[in-house]
Structure 1
Amino acid sequence: MRLRFLGSTSEAGACPSLYETDRGTIVVQGLHVTDTEALSDLLHVLDGEIAVEVPRELLVDIAREVLR
């Protein structure tokens, strides 16, 4: 799988960031959610899956760019 950087809300282009894959999917780079109360709200978590947190504005900004 190959990744193409889509954008970030950080100054240096580090975390949090979004990437597009050559498989037509999106990879999210963000802070690993470790809060047990928040994790208990997740549904249908499969083995090997984790939750990451990214700012809402990052998703909105990338969506606007992609949908142009």
Structure 2
Amino acid sequence: MRLTFVGKDPKSNPTGSPTVYRTDRGSWIVQGWIVEDPGVLGQMDIPEGEACVEIPDRMLQFFRQEP
């Protein structure tokens, strides 16, 4: 899989998150803050081998694709 950098949170430090990547398989990779709150995770049905990360609204701009 090849990754293409799309954007980094302008409010993150130089090595921080969140960051958005596009893959050559028609998918996205999101680097973000690990969700560890049991109350939040209890509201989700996350299968083994999967995880979730949290990103702020200001990152949504990086999910817009040009035609």
Range into which the TM-score falls when normalised by the shorter chain: 0.7 to 0.9
Residues 2 and 67 of structure 1: is their aligned pair in 2 closer, same or farther, counting only changes over 3 Å?
same
* Partner amino acid, structure 2, of 1:7: G
Residue equivalent to 1:51: 52
Secondary structure, aligned partner of 1:62: helix
**Mapped partners of 1:11, 1:36: distance in 2:** 27
Q: Which runs of 5+ in 2 are unaligned?
A: none
Runs of 4+ off more than 4 Å: none
Number of matched pairs: 65
TM-score by length of 1: 0.81
Q: CA deviation at 1:34?
A: 0.3
Name the % identity.
38
Q: Shift of residue 31 of structure 1?
A: 1.0
**Residue 4 of structure 1 pairs with residue 4 of structure 2:** yes
* Aligned-pair Cα RMSD in Å: 1.7
Secondary structure at the aligned position of 2:63 is classed as helix
* Corresponding residue number in structure 1 for 2:44: 42
Report the TM-score, using the length of structure 2 for normalisation: 0.82
